[in-house]
Every structure is written in C-alpha cells, then in structure tokens.
C-alpha cells in the first residue's frame, strides 16, 4: 500500500470518528476509535482532530438551533468515553493533561440553565469540567478546585443580589494565598465585563460560546 493510500485511509478513519461523535452514535464512535488504534494512527491525532472538530461542529449546530442542551450532554459523555479509549494507547509521559474547570452557580442563587449550558459547551470543547451545581458556597468551590487541581473557576450569577458572591470567591482565594493558582471567569444575566474587571476576575463570558473562547484564551 503506498503512502498516499495510507494517508487517505487514515483521514477517512479520523473523519468517521468525528462524524460518529457529531451524530452521537456511540457504537460507531467506539468502533472508529478502536480502528484508529488498530491502524497504528497516533491517538493524539484523533484527539486533536476528530474530537476537536466534532466539538466545534456540535457547538455551531447548537448555536443555530439544530442541536439542544441534551445533545451537548450526550456528546460530552461520548467524547469522554472515546478519549479514554484513545488515551489508553498514549504513553503516560506523552499524555496531554486536560485543562480542568470547576463551575458553579454561586451561593443564594438556584438558576441553572445558563450555567449548565456553559458547562456542557466547555466540556464539548475539550475541557475537564466539574459542575458543582447551584447555590454553592465559596469555601466548597475553592475546596473542589484544590481537590481536582483545577486551572480555572467559573462562576455564574443570575441575580444582582448574588453577584457579591462572585467577588467573595475571588477575595477568599486571595486571602488564602491561592489567587494565582486559579483563573477565575464569571458570567450570568446581570454580570458585565466591567463588573468582572472591577472585582478582579480574569475573564468574562456573556454566553456559553464567549465563555468557552475566553477559557481557551486564558488557559491555552
């Protein structure tokens, strides 16, 4: 088999994995991942091409209304599963560590839709995401960020009266001497970039996609 044919076959396999993820077809995605390994393709290529491209495509489909939040959750699960298959075949010293983000809606606030959306889009974009849910106290968020060695803390607030809790997390990090260990990104209905700057956050996202771009900018 000549090199050109081998390259073509490789590209087809990588593409088939991408398409299977976008179509949320678990059987086909797992099979494609196994075939990629059996064909001797560097699994990192599959991670950097198939999964990344699938994440971008799914994000675009969500943005224009072809896919919904549930699809993003399912795609995230499938991407995790496929990544695990691929990563098992990468020498541990060559494994690229996923950037980890702890996300929560702050204390006193039970709004979940926006935060859920940000969490799944971040996950679909390849970040390791720990979603702590809603109404979460600053101390618990910081504890979790330390525990999972997070790179970033993402904080949502939908109420004017819960925005001070975003500042509280930043202030608590500073007082504990941990501020430089974590980037902090904030968002939510009443939150603005000006407010983010005012309270010393590193980043701000007005929606899930802007938040994801901001996370990429801050962590890569």
- Phi/psi for 117 (5° steps) reads -65, -45
Q: How far apart are alpha carbons 100 and 96 in whole angstroms? A: 12
Q: From the CB of 138, what's the least distance to another protein, in Å?
A: 12
Find the Cα–Cα–Cα–Cα dihedral 34, 122, 52, 214, rounded to 10°. Answer: -160
Q: Helices (H), strands (E): how many in the chain?
A: 10, 5
Binding flag, residue 68, another protein (CB under 8 A)? yes
Report 181-220 residues binding another protein (CB under 8 A).
189-192, 195, 207
Q: How far apart are alpha carbons 63 and 68 in whole angstroms? A: 9
Helix H or strand E encompassing 209 = helix 208-219
Of 214, 167, 216, the C-alpha closest to 195 is 167
Q: What is the DSSP letter of 199?
A: H
Pick the stretch among 69-77, 85-93, 175-183, 212-220 that binds another protein (CB under 8 A).
69-77
Report 95-114 residues binding another protein (CB under 8 A).
107-114
Report 23-62 residues binding another protein (CB under 8 A).
62
Pick the stretch among 4-12, 39-47, 148-156, 159-167 that binds another protein (CB under 8 A).
159-167
Q: Which is nearer to another protein, 14 or 130 (CB)?
A: 130
Cα–Cα distance list, 151 to 29, 111, 128, 147 (Å): 29, 24, 10, 11
Q: From the CB of 123, what's the least distance to another protein, in Å?
A: 12
Report 6-25 residues binding another protein (CB under 8 A).
none
Give the binding-site size for another protein (rule: CB under 8 A): 33
Q: From the CB of 109, what's the least distance to another protein, in Å?
A: 7
Q: From the CB of 111, what's the least distance to another protein, in Å?
A: 8
List, in sequence order, every residue forming a beta bridge with 153; answer none if it has no partner. Answer: 102, 184
By the criterion CB under 8 A, which residues form the site for another protein? Answer: 62-63, 65, 68-70, 73-74, 107-114, 116-117, 133-134, 159-165, 189-192, 195, 207
């Amino acid at each position: 088999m000549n090199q050109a044919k081998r390259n073509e076959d490789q590209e087809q396999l990588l593409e088939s994995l991408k398409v299977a993820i976008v179509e949320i077809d678990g059987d086909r995605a797992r099979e494609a991942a196994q075939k990629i390994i059996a064909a001797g393709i560097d699994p990192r290529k599959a991670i950097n091409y198939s999964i990344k491209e699938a994440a971008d495509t799914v994000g675009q489909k969500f943005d224009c209304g072809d896919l919904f939040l549930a699809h993003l959750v399912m795609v995230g699960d499938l991407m995790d599963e496929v990544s695990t298959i691929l990563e098992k075949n990468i020498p541990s010293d060559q494994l690229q560590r996923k950037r980890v983000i702890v996300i929560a809606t702050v204390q006193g606030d039970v709004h979940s839709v926006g935060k859920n959306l940000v969490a799944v889009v971040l996950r679909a974009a390849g970040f390791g995401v720990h979603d702590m849910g809603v109404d979460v106290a600053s101390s618990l968020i910081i504890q979790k960020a330390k525990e999972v060695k997070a790179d970033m803390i993402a904080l949502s607030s939908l109420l004017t009266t819960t925005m001070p809790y975003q500042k509280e997390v930043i202030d608590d990090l500073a007082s504990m001497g941990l501020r430089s260990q974590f980037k902090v990104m904030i968002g939510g209905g009443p939150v603005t970039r000006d407010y983010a700057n005012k309270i010393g956050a590193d980043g701000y996202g007005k929606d899930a996609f802007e938040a994801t771009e901001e996370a990429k900018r801050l962590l890569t």
